[in-house]
Amino acid sequence: MPKKRKRVKSKMNTPKLRNVEKSRSQATIGKRPPGLQVCKKCQAVYLRKRWQWNYPMFTENKNDKSVATICPACAVTRPEQAEGTLELYDYDSATQRQEILKMLRNAEARARERDPLDRIFLWEKSGKTDIIYTTENQLAMSLGRQVRRAFGGDLEFKTSAEEDIVRLRWRGVIPNKK
Ligand SMILES: [Zn+2]
């Protein structure tokens, strides 16, 4: 019995030592975590399976071409790529329009701060209608509701289950209520 125990012990020691050696050398060669990606456009960092703001990690790795990429939000540039749209029309006044657009810019900045993939990537004006395009459908929903809550008016939306797309329309002045 003692003989057997001894053999088991020696078998266990050797691989353990090797593993320690291996992980030490990995730690010194590259501090870079596995799966790391860095967006060269917006400086967002993909780490532990999600996109986030991590400025130290960005500066440390920004010159490493092997991790440089374009994040999913920066890759969205065309209107047809939007997950959400919010149309705004029939403003009460030009001042109200300015206030709403300002509120939307602030709300977007807060959303982007929380999650780098939450963005308004396009602002359009078509006649008297403003159209904003978002990378995430939830952001469009949230923005539409914030406008409705702060300025009243009428908010309607259509979702497309197949494509995960939401289209919202906010109307400032409701004719039959006048
Ligand atoms: Zn990016």
- Torsion 9-10-13-19 (CA) sign: negative
Place of tokens 């008297």: 128
Q: 117 C-alpha to center of ligand 1: Å?
A: 8
- Give pLDDT tens digits for 30-72: 567 889 999 999 999 999 999 999 999 999 999 999 999 999 9
Q: 127 C-alpha to center of ligand 1: Å?
A: 31
- Give pLDDT tens digits for 94-151: 999 999 999 999 999 999 999 999 999 999 999 999 999 999 999 999 999 999 999 9
Kindly provide the residue ranges of all beta strands, DSSP E only, lying in the chain, ordered along the sequence: 37-39, 45-47, 50-52, 68-69, 84-89, 120-126, 129-134, 154-160, 165-171
Q: 62 C-alpha to center of ligand 1: Å?
A: 13
Distance from C-alpha of 129 to C-alpha of 132, rounded to nearest angstrom: 10
Which residue(s) pair with 167 in the sheet? 85, 158
The pTM of this model reads: 0.78
